[in-house]
Amino acid sequence: MALCHSAIFHICRLGGIYYFLQALGYKSYPPEVMITMSLAAIASLLPLSLGVLGIRESSFAMGLGIYGVDFTTTINTAMLVRLILWAQAATGGIIMVCSRNEIKV
């Protein structure tokens, strides 16, 4: 079940990044985005900065730069992805704090 949830999350994330690139004017292809996401995920495992700030964005910029995307578009896309992940985490944290009395661990 957890594997299914993880697969759904990553497919939705791939689609989101793909449509961000489309909205910013770059005609990308899903395999390019998949390869770049994989490289960014591997780079984010390196413990070089607090919260991997800048590591994921720069690897994303370099990965899409290989396919001819300009630097501004890649950084904008990476920052949008970062903001959405923070919003999701904040929403989950608020829900957890509000329902803390109901959950018994």
Judge contact between 73 and 21, C-beta under 8 A.
Answer: yes
Per-residue model confidence as pLDDT tens digits over 23-78:
878 877 888 888 888 888 888 888 888 777 888 888 888 888 888 888 888 888 88
Instruction: Indicate the length of the chain as a whole number.
Output: 105
Q: So where are the chain's domains?
A: 2-98
Q: End-to-end CA distance of the chain: give it in Å, rounded.
A: 20
Q: What is the pLDDT of residue 30?
A: 83
Look at residue 91 and tell me whether its pLDDT is greater than 90: yes
Judge contact between 28 and 15, C-beta under 8 A.
Answer: no
> 0.75 exceeded by the pTM?
no
HEC profile of 21-32 = HHHCCCCCCHHH
Q: What is the DSSP string of 38-71?
A: HHHHHHTTS-SSGGGTTHHHHHHHHHHHHTT--H
